[in-house]
Amino acid sequence: MSNNSGGLRIGCYALSITLAASVGCSSRRIAAVKVFDPSTLSQLADGDFAEGVAGKAPQRWLLGARPSNAYSAMVVAQACHYGKQCAMVQSKVAGSPPDGLAFLHQVVNASAFRGKKFVFQASVRAEVSGTPNVARLLVRVHRENGESSFFDNMGEHPITSKRWARYEIAGLISSDARDIEVGMQLAGVGIAWLDSASLNFSK
C-alpha cells in the first residue's frame, strides 16, 4: 500500500467483525493491516481496470450520470495507486450543474451471498473544491421487491483528498437480497480516480 494515504482511521469493522454485521456500520478509511479474511475471491469484474484500454471507457463497469452528458469515465495509465491502470471519472465542463452526479459501478447478483458479511474496498483520490463537490464509495443492496436493505455512500466521510487512500464499506447481505450495487460517485464538479476495487464475502 502506498505510504501517502495519510491519517488512516480503523473503523468498526477493523475493531470487531460482529459490529460490521450491523447495517449501521459506517464507511471509513482503513489501516494497512488486513482486517478481513474472505472465503472467496473478489466478485467484481476487472476491479483493477487491467482489461481496459487507456483513453476508453472501462469495459466491465457502468456509468450512470445526471445529467447524462455532464460526465465521462475512462481508463487511465498514469499515477495509479497499485497497478498500471485505474479509472477516472470527471465532469466534462466547469459549468456542470452543481447538483450533478456520476456513478461508476457494477451490479452483482446477491443470491449466492445472502446472510453473509461483505466488504467493499477501493482506492480513491479526488480533485474537487468546495461544497458540494466530493467523491464517495457507495454500496446499495436491493431486496427482491426493489427496496433497499442496505445503503452507505460515506455520507459522514466524503472523499476530497488528492492523495490516494484505501477506503471500505462493510455490512451484511439480507436474506432476501436481489443484487448488490457497488462503485464510486462523483458529486458536482471535479475529477475522481478509482483503483483496485474488490468485493469480498465472509465464510
| Domain annotation covers residue 30 | yes
Domain CATH number, residue 102:
2.60.120.260
pLDDT tens for the chain, 203 residues long, are 333 333 232 233 222 222 233 333 444 444 332 333 333 468 999 999 999 999 999 999 999 999 988 999 999 999 999 989 999 999 987 666 778 999 999 999 999 999 999 999 999 999 999 888 999 999 999 999 999 999 999 988 999 999 999 999 999 999 999 999 999 999 999 999 999 999 999 96
Q: Which pLDDT belongs to residue 8?
A: 30
| Domain annotation covers residue 59 | yes
Q: Which pLDDT belongs to residue 25?
A: 43
Q: Which pLDDT belongs to residue 42?
A: 87
| Domain annotation covers residue 2 | no
Q: Is 163 exposed, middle or buried (0-12, 13-18, 19+ CB in 10 A)?
A: exposed
| Domain annotation covers residue 1 | no
Residues ≥6 apart with Cβ < 8 Å to 18: none
| Domain annotation covers residue 145 | yes
What is the tally of structural domains in the chain? 1
| Domain annotation covers residue 6 | no
Angstrom distances, CA of residue 153 to CA of 24, 41, 146: 12, 23, 18
| Domain annotation covers residue 3 | no
Cis ω on the peptide bond leading into residue 58 (within 30° of 0)? no
CA angle 102/42/80 to nearest 5° reads: 55
DSSP state of 17: H
Q: Which pLDDT belongs to residue 200?
A: 96
Q: What is the span of the domain harbouring residue 91? A: 12-201
CA angle 101/104/109 to nearest 5° reads: 125
Each residue's pLDDT tens digit, 127-185: 999 888 999 999 999 999 999 999 999 988 999 999 999 999 999 999 999 999 999 99
Give the separation between CA 197 and CA 203, rounded to whole angstroms. 20
Cell of 126: 479526488
| Domain annotation covers residue 107 | yes
